[in-house]
């Protein structure tokens, strides 16, 4: 996608920061960020660029050793692989329920969480674009399939202001176009 952006907009200068940490756009001087998941209320302006689907996964070895939780209540007895102290949202029929899992392994990067899950350290709640190949190969298996996470989104967020800069509008439109074509939309970044 970056090559396409450079080709279509040869005068565009891009500086990116790829991090799964939550950045303060205003304090850190970013023009915009790509946020994945569920947006919290804030004074930032957000534009949805595409859907993000995810699932709870674990390695076959973890499931063999600890079993597979079937209900949100059973999840409390398992090791969760998390980015911090986040809550997980799961579907119970048409209702969204929130669980607060516990675990000994935390990482600020989805790729590290995938590695921990494939190593058998616990259950991770991750987007499909990170786990697709691992599930296809059998290195990870979906768990709690009767209680899937609700669909989330990928968003371009920017500080408040009347009109976004042209570069943010161009980036947003290119990302929307990319997400429309791709089965696995982009991850989080700040630019």
Q: What is the pLDDT of residues 25-77, one digit of tens each?
A: 888 888 888 888 777 767 888 899 888 889 999 999 999 999 999 999 999 89
14, 126 Cβ separation under 8 angstroms: no
pLDDT digits (tens, 9 = 90+) for 106-158: 998 889 999 999 999 999 999 998 999 999 999 999 999 999 999 888 898 99
Is it the case that residue 190 has pLDDT exceeding 50?
Answer: no
Per CATH, the number for 54-143 is 3.40.190.290
44, 36 Cβ separation under 8 angstroms: no
Which pair of structure tokens corresponds to residue 162? 């009347």
Where do the DSSP E strands lie in the chain? Answer: 33-37, 45-52, 54-58, 80-82, 88-92, 95-99, 105-106, 123-127, 141-143, 152-158, 189-190
Check residues 114 and 11 and name the one with the higher pLDDT.
114
Check residue 14 and give its pLDDT.
66
Check residue 30 and give its pLDDT.
84
Is it the case that residue 8 has pLDDT exceeding 80?
Answer: no
Check residue 81 and give its pLDDT.
96
Is it the case that residue 92 has pLDDT exceeding 90?
Answer: yes
Check residue 11 and give its pLDDT.
75
Is it the case that residue 191 has pLDDT exceeding 80?
Answer: no
Is it the case that residue 10 has pLDDT exceeding 80?
Answer: no
2's CB contacts (< 8 A; 6+ apart) are: 14
Residues of the chain with CATH 3.40.190.290: 54-143
Check residue 102 and give its pLDDT.
92
The sign of the dihedral angle between the CA atoms of 182, 127, 140, 110 is positive
Check residue 2 and give its pLDDT.
62
Is it the case that residue 189 has pLDDT exceeding 60?
Answer: no
Check residue 24 and give its pLDDT.
82
188's CB contacts (< 8 A; 6+ apart) are: 18, 19, 20, 33, 34, 35, 36
Residues of the chain with CATH 3.40.190.10: 30-52+152-191
Q: Which of the four CATH numbers 2.40.50.140, 1.10.3720.10, 3.40.190.10, 3.40.1260.10 does domain 30-52+152-191 have?
A: 3.40.190.10
Check residue 5 and give its pLDDT.
67
């Amino acid at each position: 996608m970056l090559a396409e952006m450079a080709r279509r907009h040869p005068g565009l200068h891009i500086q990116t920061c790829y991090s799964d940490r939550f950045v303060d756009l205003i304090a850190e001087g970013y023009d915009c960020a790509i946020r994945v998941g569920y947006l919290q209320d804030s004074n930032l302006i957000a534009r949805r660029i595409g859907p993000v689907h995810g699932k709870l996964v674990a390695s076959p070895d973890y499931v063999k050793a600890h079993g597979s939780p079937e209900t949100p209540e059973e999840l409390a007895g398992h090791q969760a692989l998390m980015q911090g102290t986040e809550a997980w949202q799961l579907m119970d029929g048409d209702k969204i329920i929130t669980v607060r899992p516990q675990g000994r392994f935390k990482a600020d990067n989805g790729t590290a969480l995938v590695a921990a899950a494939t190593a058998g350290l616990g259950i991770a709640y991750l987007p499909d674009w990170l786990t697709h190949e691992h599930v296809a190969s059998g290195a990870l298996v979906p768990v709690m399939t009767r209680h899937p996470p609700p669909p989330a989104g990928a968003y371009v967020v920017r500080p408040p202001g009347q009109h976004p800069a042209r570069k943010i509008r161009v980036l947003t439109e290119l990302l929307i176009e990319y997400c429309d074509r791709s089965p696995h939309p982009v991850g989080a970044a700040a630019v």
